[in-house]
Amino acid sequence: MQHQQIIWLSGAGSGIGRGLAVALLRKGHRLALTGRREAPLEELRQEVEPGEEERVLVLPADVSIPSTLEIAYTRLKDTWGVPDMVIANAGTHQHTELDRLTFSESRAIIDVNLLGAIRMLTLPLQGMADRGSGTLVGVASLAGYRGLPAAAAYGASKAGLINFLESLRFDAEPRGIRVQIVNPGFVKTPLTDQNPFEMPMLISVEQAVAALMNGLEKGRDEIHFPTRFSRIMKLLRILPYPLYKRLIRKITQGGAR
């Protein structure tokens, strides 16, 4: 990453997004912060050094509501121009076993995790292409590699985002646009605190942010962490499906509870 880039980050109010925002601000970047609630974003803006508040632009928006995201981007572009980097980090999750699985809940998850990310990433796309430079970052998940119990909609949303970004890379790179995919494992956040099962190889937000920053700075196509867990998931991804299904059923005893 170049020094003092203009970076637009969603999901900045809590969890990985908040930790990442703090790390990026410490590096001297200008940050446009988006989240559904304005108060946490303003709190972040107050954390910068006195006189440095102009490096933070608060742009509240709901990524599942296109008009609010378009208003946020218009304000960003009018204030600072086309950003150097966009990080689509906003996400949601609901542990959903069969008796609770509904279309409306599934649509809500997909609208944030997949469609919301696509909305955000495509808004500056033409501007970056015209300029011949830029970086698009999508935060997906290791859960997007293959199907997992009680995660039908969540897994589908993350698998869709991975495929979207991998496909976009073929068209974006020749125009000077880098595409990076972030695939975290379990990170202790208010969102994962709702999971009713023991999460393997759970890491802290601080550990996740350190891995993410390292991957961003090195320009890696895929940033995956924690390393041991992601390697296991990569191995599971290439197993023949009948073997994979039997193994996952054994590990989860028919579904994580």
Torsions phi, psi of 56, nearest 5? -125, 125
Enclosing domain of residue 238: 6-252
pLDDT at position 255: 41
**Residue 176 counted as domain residue:** yes
- What's the total number of domains in the chain? 1
**Residue 227 counted as domain residue:** yes
pLDDT at position 193: 67
Structural contact between residues 257 and 99, judged by C-beta atoms closer than 8 angstroms? no
**Residue 222 counted as domain residue:** yes
pLDDT 10s digit of each residue in the chain, 257 long? 767 899 999 999 999 999 999 999 999 999 999 999 999 999 999 888 888 889 999 999 999 999 999 999 999 999 999 999 999 999 998 888 898 899 999 999 999 999 999 999 999 999 999 999 999 999 999 999 999 999 999 999 999 999 999 999 999 999 999 999 999 998 988 777 677 777 778 899 999 999 999 999 999 999 999 999 999 999 999 999 999 999 998 877 744 33
Give the Cα separation of 48 and 55 in Å (integer): 8
State the catalytic residue, choosing from 73, 145, 154, 244.
154
**Residue 45 counted as domain residue:** yes
**Residue 196 counted as domain residue:** yes
pLDDT at position 94: 82
pLDDT at position 52: 85
Q: Is 82 left (phi over 0), alpha (psi -120 to 50) or beta?
A: beta
**Residue 207 counted as domain residue:** yes
pLDDT at position 60: 97
DSSP symbol at 54: G
- CA neighbor of 91 nearest in space, from 62, 71, 66, 134: 62
Q: Assess whether 244 carries a catalytic annotation.
A: no
pLDDT at position 257: 33
Task: Using CB atoms within 10 Å of the CB of residue 84, give its burial: 0 to 12 exposed, 13 to 18 middle, 19+ buried.
Answer: buried
**Residue 72 counted as domain residue:** yes
Q: Is 255 left (phi over 0), alpha (psi -120 to 50) or beta?
A: left
**Residue 1 counted as domain residue:** no
| Residue 30 belongs to domain with CATH number | 3.40.50.720
Question: What is the token pair recorded at 229?
Answer: 């867990």
